[in-house]
Chain A
């Protein structure tokens, strides 16, 4: 049995398997990681910490590269405005 943990993504509660990256969790929740400077929704592109498209607000800290970050219990993740 896989161990799950819960976090909130843009205010909605989500269950994910332990080991899930925050970028993957945001894709599963169909939420953009960030809104670009002209207002486009963006999600992770490179998946390896290079492109910075997966930047999101994690526990109040903006611009976290979510593809390099694993989900933690009770984490609060929001789309980076």
Chain B
């Protein structure tokens, strides 16, 4: 069991900023992350070869984190926590799984976001990936050189992914954004007020001079090659016309949904789908803070500002200028939400015989007649597999309007050997706790 004053979950931009700020103000800080290295998703680095260009913002942030005295523990997957101040993780090593327990005074949730996937016929075929998913796999050593790729879905991520894949030698034939041009225009106009973001968008577009960027278009079906379960083409529509685009890979994601399972387990209050926080990023629980995407999908700059505010708050400090930045980023976030709102036609993507829950292979038609999650889980096993509804949950919320009902520990499937690996001190600790409870 390890004690720390401040425990940060997630070593993406928000978590790094929070940990750095708290540690620089003299607090003892541990940052946990599930991934093999720090950076989160947006700052995910290539693990193969030499990076083409240094991401200076990321590098500076990580160097500052290291200097701050905060300890980073990668490969730690949080599966349980209690607002009274304990949190449990497991990690997988070559020799097996190990569980660990942490005690904290203050907790910062910087758990980030994941892609939203909407099911469509053929979405389980090999060759179909998330948009950020394919980018992450390429950073992990998968080669897309010479492959024909269609990038589709919605959100600012599509352009970034397409640019990255093109740089890696992929032949990105088209980027299909489901939002209409009219819907996107106010967001594009707002970029003029955020010059850094505008420059970034222009840089991405410049790398895609061979690619068509189509708004108001979406993939309705992924078609398998004759003779094998392997992607050969996608059917695309603009609502009036439907056509076929041959491709080897499809990178398709519908913007982001927040990772809020840990906040829900702890009992933090929500505002819609997001964790409710005050100006100091404090949740409804006084010793628990939340920063970045779980408080509202707002991107990198907002995550960094909110992380720093949360970290300072853990050390009993605040900074007025950062509040102004945070407010500006909130405007950006609400504009982004409107720009990439999902069009109603996407409700009719699934066919009755199509799998919606990939873990348990539950068909869409088997959900008919069920009114919500509890019923559907009991009768069909939908959302009961290893991902625990993280993929089908947001999809079914979009399709049928079902909100998640309950979050229980373990938050991730934990190998039994991890639970058996507890060291003796922990056992004694637990025992004495039990004795205290009984007394």
Contact = CB atoms under 8 A, between A and B. Distances in A.
B385 interface: yes
Interface stretch (B80-88, B134-142, B195-203, B335-343): B134-142
A49 to B, nearest CB: 6
A41 interface: yes
Contacts of A81: none
A21 B358 contact: no
Contacts of A47: 129-130, 132-137, 140
B211 interface: no
Interface in B125-162: 126-130, 132-138, 140-143
B35 A68 contact: yes
B413 interface: yes
Contacts of A17: 48-49, 141
Interface in A7-21: 16-21
Contact of A55 (B124, B132, B135, B386): B386
Contacts of B138: 24
Interface string A46-76: 1111111101000101011001111010000
A61 B357 CA distance: 24
Contacts of B346: none
B4 interface: no
B137 A42 contact: no
B124 A40 contact: yes
B389 to A, nearest CB: 11
Q: DSSP majority for the B interface?
A: loop
B255 interface: no
A21 B390 contact: no
Interface residues of A, number: 40
B16 interface: no
B133 A44 contact: yes
B391 A45 contact: yes
A67 B391 contact: no
A27 B132 CA distance: 16
A58 B433 CA distance: 37
B143 A70 contact: no
Given A45-B391, A47-B137, A50-B391, A40 B47 contact: no
B129 A68 contact: no
B387 A50 contact: yes
A45 B48 contact: no
B168 interface: no
Contacts of B413: 52, 63
Given A18-B48, A63-B413, A67-B136, A44 B141 contact: no
Given A38-B361, A47-B137, A63-B413, A52 B47 contact: no
Contact of A37 (B141, B229, B259, B361): B361
B390 A16 contact: no
B126 A24 contact: no
B136 A28 contact: no
Interface string B349-380: 00000010011110000000000000000000
15 contacts: A17-B49, A17-B141, A19-B46, A23-B137, A28-B142, A40-B361, A46-B117, A47-B132, A47-B140, A49-B35, A49-B77, A50-B114, A50-B390, A51-B391, A69-B36
Interface of A: 2, 16-21, 23-25, 27-28, 32, 36-38, 40-53, 55, 59, 61, 63-64, 67-70, 72
